Amino acid sequence: MYHLWLKSAVFLLLLTASPALAQEYGSFTDSRDGTTYKTVQIGNQIWFAENVKYIADDIACRSDAKHGASVKNYGCLYSWADAQKVCPAGFHLPSKVEFSRLLVHVGEGQEGSENLRASSWKGGKNGSGFSALPAGAFKADNFASFGSAAYFWTVSKCSKEGNNDAYSMTIAQGSVSAKSCNSEGTDFLSVRCIKDAEESGKLNIFTDRRDGNKYKTVEIGNQIWLAENMKYIADGIDYKSTKKPNEYGYLYKFDDAKKVCPSGWHLPSRVEFDRLLTSVGKEETGSDNLRHRKWDKGKNVSGFGALPAGKCEKKGCSSAEVAAYFWSSTEQNKKNAYGLYVDAGKTIVNSGKSASYLSVRCIKDTNNEEPEKSPLSNAALQSTAAKDPVQSKNNNAASQVASEPKAAEGFFTDSRDGHKYKIMQIEEQTWMAENLRYSGVKHYSVDGDSKNDAVYGFLYEWQEAKQACPVGWHLPSEEDFEDLIDYVGGDNKTGAENLRATIWSYADDQSGKEMTGFGALPAGLYLAGDYYNFGEDAGFWSSTEEDSSNAYGLSIEKRSVYLGSGAKTGAFSVRCLKDSP
């Protein structure tokens, strides 16, 4: 896991001075031609550690042989169309998001370049084991950049309208970027394949006693979902048939969608869909992991098995075989409600007209469902504390948190914009129990999506973070965060679980316990034009400087909570602390 903060200057020196990221190599033999490739695991991704060299009658392989770029050592340069064909079964051409996750792990700029470049490439340290070689490219009918740069296709199209470009990852001696655009028609670049994730969902069968319909079910994270669309019909239920009702189910209006789930199951809330996306990923990754394998190269890693049933409105039906729409139980207003949208390139939670007809996926009832309106409510806190007390052998404070939560709650209204924040008293400190969302200074929406503002707050660079808290409150110091860590159980898994909101969970059911009421959410960070770690980590600025370029902050991850330093130009969450009387 890439840390949001560097724990110390010593850690930074170790990272840049040694190949600490290096992994042991594996191998994979392509059954099509018998070629054996080295593989390497970087983070939770498994990559080819060599460029692809697959050749077939309908695939054009170019190499700059004139300058010594043999196919054996440097692989082939492919067009974008051919690049999508050359990865063997079990591997695929990576997306821009997957390359961005690689860079989160290995670093950016010169650091990332050194960690990705083979040691045989001048200045390369190959700390990651990726072993990039400068094969160059073929552009405008000429070979270019052999010996100085490496270019790797992604499957992702550039977003500019009217162009025929696709994204690539570019590695040079002092830089690395996954944001370059290259012509899919005329450019030939290298290819690195990434291994398909194995299906993690545990499939079972559920029979609806009302009509005898059988549905596959799947466990994703700590949620159990129907893995098929609802097909329930009854008097008083308004529905529309899809083109393939036995396979795609039926479409329902919002009010009727709330009635069709069988006993023991319910229409998921917006929060529950957010948790699903935290488990499976967002954008392209989430789409790939949710879509059935028969839908436009879906991977269905989650087992959710989404199918493109489309939607219907007064003017007619649309998007069949293009997109899937699923109702949530959460209303936006009298005329609109939230739902999950999935197409072949992204997945998001957004709102639509309640009179529309959408698909329904039911989620199994639990005994400790989070309240929909306020995932930080004290009721949820008390329920969680009663069911899952923290065991701490050596920390009396942590034991006190688990057995007798002392987080006294209340509310504070920011007079500058009217935003109301839940607040919690933890020992002698009074904290905002929600991330700040004050827009009067420079800020960024979490993951670049304004729909996240209400729940996750904003991300701020350090200078703006110091100005963002309202009168009577301040940005906490490093010492303030140290006191908080001591109280919640230390810089370990216990401390992290006690700070994380209950709705923040991981695929292996490592859910937050939120014993303190702090309710941390994984908003990630914004740095140098890209968003990272949304759904995975939380980082909060402190007011304490390390030097002219860096400041300290609090990081909360899956199994740890710690203080470290980060670049002031990075944007992180802000939690305000009440001034002492």
Find out whether 344 and 353 touch, Cβ atoms under 8 Å.
no
Q: Are residues 386 and 343 in the same domain?
A: no
Say if residue 357 is in the same domain as residue 409.
no
Predicted confidence at residue 198, as pLDDT, reads: 55
H helices of 86-205, where?
96-106, 109-116
| pLDDT tens-place string over residues 389-414 | 222 323 333 333 333 334 446 889 99
DSSP secondary structure string, 329-349?
EEESSSSEEEEEEEESS-EEE
Query: Is there a domain that residue 264 lies in?
Result: yes
- Same domain for 18 and 53, yes or no, is yes
Q: Which of 230, 202, 214 is nearest to 303 (CA)?
A: 202
Task: Check: CB of residue 392 under 8 Å from CB of residue 489.
Answer: yes
Q: What is the pLDDT of residues 405-442, one digit of tens each?
A: 344 468 899 999 999 998 988 777 888 989 999 999 99
Q: Give the per-residue SS3 of 226-244.
A: ECCCCCCCCCCCCEEECCC
Q: For residue 187, give the amino acid letter.
A: D
pLDDT digits (tens, 9 = 90+) for 10-35: 223 222 333 344 467 899 999 999 99
DSSP reduced 3-state for 278: helix
Domain assignment present for residue 558? The answer is yes
pLDDT at 490: 66
Number of domains in the chain: 3
Residues 26 and 128 in one domain: yes
Q: Rounded to a whole number, what is the distance in angstroms from the first to the last CA of the chain?
A: 40
Q: What percent of the chain has pLDDT over 70?
A: 83
Numbers of helices and strands, H then E, in the chain: 15, 34
As a whole-number percent, the residues of the chain with pLDDT over 90 amount to: 44
Residue identified by tokens 């129907």 is: 226
Look at residue 406 in the predicted model and tell me its pLDDT. Answer: 40
pLDDT on residue 2: 38
Residue 224: pLDDT above 50?
yes
pLDDT at 75 exceeding the cut of 50: yes
Residue 206: CA atoms inside 13 Å, Cβ hemisphere, count?
24
* pTM > 0.85: no
Q: Which domain holds residue 449?
A: 378-578
Predicted local distance difference test score (pLDDT) of residue 467: 94
Mean pLDDT, residues 137-149 taken together: 91
**pLDDT at position 14:** 28
pLDDT at 233: 92
For 135, the token pair is: 């094969």
Assigned domain for 372 exists: no
Between 210 and 380, name the one with better pLDDT: 210
Q: Domain for residue 370, yes or no?
A: no
pLDDT-based confidence at residue 509 (cuts at 50, 70, 90): very low
- Residue 85, helix vs strand vs coil: coil
Asked whether residue 339 falls in the same domain as residue 447, the answer is no
- Quick one: 43 and 65 in the same domain? yes
Q: Which residues touch 552 (CB under 8 Å, ≥6 apart)?
A: 5, 478, 481, 542, 544, 545, 546, 563, 564, 565
